[in-house]
Amino acid sequence: MLIDLSWNSCRLEDNQYNPQAVKELFYGADASCDHDTVMLLHHKVAIEFLLDGVPQERLSTCVVKNLHAALVQDLLAIRSPVGSRAIARFGHR
């Protein structure tokens, strides 16, 4: 499920990975550090965050900000601390 959700989410943004490549990436294959790879890894973290955080905290502004922070980390030219404190609270990067 994690592979399918991440792949489908990223392909909406023209990510060039196929489902098999996503599976290999998530199971530890060496990966380049290009935009598509970073995007997929962030989507994986965001989905894991939702699975861990929403049942405990319920969907809230804080959870949505942290979800957004997980998705855009290292992808924006301008860094923003939005959500960074709560992500640390849940133990996510």
The whole-number pLDDT of residue 60 equals 81
pTM: 0.67
SS (H, E, C) 70-89: HHHCCCCCCCCCCCHHHHHH
Residue-wise pLDDT for 8-24, tens only, equals 888 888 889 999 999 99
Torsion angle of C-alpha atoms 69, 13, 20, 29, degrees rounded to 10: -40
The domain segmentation of the chain, as residue ranges, is 2-90
Residue-wise pLDDT for 39-62, tens only, equals 899 899 888 888 887 777 677 888
